[in-house]
Amino acid sequence: MDHKKHIPYSPIQYEESEMLNRVDAFYELMNKRRSVREFSEKDVPKEIIDQVIRTASTAPSGAHKQPWTFCVISNKDLKKKLRTLAEEEEERNYNGRMSERWLNDLAPIGTDAIKEFIDIAPWIIVVMKKSFDFDEEGKKTNNYYVNESVGIASGMLIAAIHNAGLVTLTHTPSPMNFIAKLLERPENERPYLLLPVGYASETCTVPDLERKSLEEIAIYYS
C-alpha cells in the first residue's frame, strides 16, 4: 500500500475575543449573500475566477480524490448555445416535468424558464462531478462520497465568489447532460451545478426572504 508521508501542521489559532470578532464578521459577510438572477455585462478579470476556483478546490473530499472539474466559459457563442439548450430543458420542466407543489414552492422566488443570465454574466462556471477517474494507463479508479465532496467544494466556491464582491446563482438545469455534450467532457464527468458569475445589474432585485433562526436549525446536546 502507498502510504503518504505525514508532515507537521500548525493550524492558525486566535484568542477567544479575536475568534468572536472573526465569527461575527464572517457571519455578517455571508448573511449578505443572495442568489442573484439579474447580471451586469461588466467584465471580471480572469485572475479573480482562477483564484475562487483554487479556493473551491481546497475543499475536503473522499480519500482526497478531488472529484471535480470546473468548466469555465466566457466565450459568447458558447454561452448563447448553453442558454438556448438550458431554456429548452427548463421549458419542459416548467410546463410539465415539475409538480404543481414544486411550482408553488418556487412561486415566491419568481423563477421561470428564461435564463438570460447565462449569456449576460461574463463568466459561467459549470461544476462537474467525476463519478470515477482514470489512472495513467487509462484504467478506471474509484472516487468516494462524490456528491458530498462536490457539494462542499461548490459551497466554498460560492463563498469565495461572494467574498470577492461578486454575485452568483446556483442554477440546476435538469437533466443536465446536454452540458457535458456541449462541452465535450469525458464519460466520467457529469454536470453538477451551473454558476453564472459577475456583478449584479444596477436594477437587480431579490425576493424578500427570511432565514431560519438558530433555534429552528440547531439542537444542542450539552
Options 172, 175, 177, 186; binder of ligand IYR; rule CB under 6 A? 172
- What's the count of helices (H) and strands (E) in the chain, helices before strands? 8, 6
d(CA 19, CA 11): 14
Q: Does 63 bind ligand IYR (CB under 6 A)?
A: no
Q: Of the candidates 55, 74, 111, 163, which one interacts with ligand IYR according to CB under 6 A?
A: 111
Q: Does 37 bind ligand IYR (CB under 6 A)?
A: no
Contact 42, 201 (CB under 8 A): no
Segment interacting with ligand IYR (CB under 6 A) among 72-80, 140-148, 172-180, 213-221: 172-180
189 binds ligand IYR (CB under 6 A): no
Give the one residue of 42, 88, 106, 134 binding ligand IYR; rule: CB under 6 A: 106
* 133 φ, ψ (degrees, to nearest 5): -135, 180
Asked if 171 is part of the footprint of ligand IYR (rule: CB under 6 A), the reply reads: yes
Give the closest residue to 198 by CA, choosing from 93, 27, 42, 20. Answer: 42
Q: What single-letter DSSP state applies at residue 160?
A: H
Region at 39 (left for phi over 0; alpha for psi -120 to 50; beta for the rest) = beta
Query: Phi/psi at 190 (nearest 5 deg)?
Result: -125, 140
131 binds ligand IYR (CB under 6 A): no
Please state the closest distance from residue 75 (CB atom) to ligand IYR, in A. 22
Of 40-48, 105-113, 119-127, 152-160, which segment contacts ligand IYR by CB under 6 A? Answer: 105-113
The residue with cell 450539552 is 222
Q: Which three cell numbers stand for residue 199?
A: 456583478
Cβ-count burial of 91 within 10 angstroms (0-12 exposed, 13-18 middle, 19+ buried)? middle
| Comparison of 90 and 119: residue with beta carbon closer to ligand IYR | 90
Q: Is residue 38 a contact point for ligand IYR (CB under 6 A)?
A: no
- Could you say which of 82, 90, 150, 179 contacts ligand IYR (CB under 6 A)? 90
Does 29 bind ligand IYR (CB under 6 A)? Our answer is: no
Task: Summarize as ranges the residues that interact with ligand IYR (CB under 6 A).
Answer: 90, 93, 106, 109, 111, 171-174
